[in-house]
Amino acid sequence: MTAPIHMKEHLRKDTGSRRTLHPLPDKIKQRLYPVVLDLFSRRDFHQVNLRDISHQTGISTGTIYKYFSSKEDLLFSILDEKMSELPGLFATRVQGLDNTEEIFRRIIWVSMDFYERNPAVAITAFITVPTRTWMQEHSYRREDVKKILRELVERGKELGDIDASVTPRIIEMMYYMLCYRHIHTWYYHGMKWKLTERIEEIFGLLWKAVRP
């Protein structure tokens, strides 16, 4: 869209990205990231350790510690980097849209499509990671996504598309409740359907709750 919601600006200002102890070479990242996500998506959090990761990647634990201070630091850095792709995807997929309802629907669809294409990220972020530990991290708050949702609410209220009593916090809660519950249900049933297939009826109920 012609950017009533300034998503590209958010990409420059606040991606919520963590910083490694030293710049991580691409060749190490390409070997490390897929293995870490695969391990954490198949095992409980406490069943994975740096020795497992070292063994399966061929990267020594000493090298891993050069870039990351702990198992948690490694995993949260990967999740942060992967999930920071979402605002850019939102910007691409809502370009040219002016209807607030359709923009919100597209944001949810793009999110589900992203997690469907990155199932290890979805499972690790919403099921494997101990939430209490992740809550201490900047990346958990996902300020980049929240800013976009806040601007969506402000613009929607200005246009009369969203009820004046609706706050950005309500929209944020709706968005994350849908992500969590939808991914949990999908995983519990063996990922037998696409995440993008079953959001329309849920979205209809969400929108009914916030429209004037």
CATH code, domain carrying 143: 1.10.357.10
Q: What is the pLDDT of residue 17?
A: 46
- Average pLDDT for consecutive 10-residue bins of the chain (212 residues)? 47 45 86 96 94 95 93 93 94 90 95 96 94 85 92 94 94 93 95 91 91 93
Residue 3 resides in a domain? no
Indicate whether 116 belongs to any domain.
yes
3-class SS at 66?
helix
| 77 in the same domain as 90 | no
Q: Is residue 99 one of the residues assigned to a domain?
A: yes
Q: Is residue 164 part of a domain?
A: yes
Q: In 126-160, which positions are buried (b, 16+ CB within 10 angstroms) versus exposed (e)? A: bbbbeeeebeebebbebebbbbbbbbbbebbbeee
pLDDT at residue 96, as a whole number: 87
Please check whether residues 106 and 164 belong to one and the same domain: yes
DSSP codes, 160-211: TSS-TT--HHHHHHHHHHHHHHHHHHHHHTTS-S-TTTT-HHHHHHHHHHH-
DSSP conformation class of 47:
G
In this structure, the answer to whether residues 192 and 94 fall within a common structural domain is: yes
Q: Does residue 168 share a domain with residue 94?
A: yes
* 34 and 66 co-located in one domain: yes
Q: Write phi, then psi, for 7 (nearest 5 degrees).
A: -65, -35
Domain boundary among 81, 104, 124: 81
pLDDT at 2: 41
Q: Write down the pLDDT at residue 121.
A: 96
Judgement on whether residues 31 and 115 belong to the same structural domain of the protein = no
Among candidate residues 51, 81, 111, the one where a domain is terminated: 81
- Assess whether 198 and 123 both reside in one domain: yes
Burial category of 52 from C-beta neighbours within 10 Å (exposed 0-12, middle 13-18, buried 19 and up):
middle
Question: Could you tell me if residue 7 is inside a domain?
Answer: no
- pLDDT confidence of residue 5: 52
Pair 116, 190 in one domain: yes
The structural domain count of the chain equals 2
133 in the same domain as 197: yes
What CATH number should be reported for the domain holding residue 68?
Answer: 1.10.10.60
Domain that holds residue 112: 84-210
**Percent of the chain that is helix, strand, coil (3-state, to 5):** 70, 0, 30
**pLDDT score recorded for residue 192:** 93
CA nearest neighbour of 90 among 166, 175, 29, 203: 175
- Residue 10 domain-assigned? no
Residue 35 and residue 110 in one domain: no
Q: What's the CA gap between 210 and 115, in Å, rounded?
A: 25
Q: Does the residue 15 lie in any domain?
A: no
89 in the same domain as 187: yes
Q: What is the pLDDT of residue 3?
A: 46
CA distance 109 to 97: 14
Instruction: Based on the fold, state whether residues 97 and 175 are members of the same structural domain.
Output: yes
- pTM, two decimals, is 0.86
Question: Is there a domain that residue 13 lies in?
Answer: no
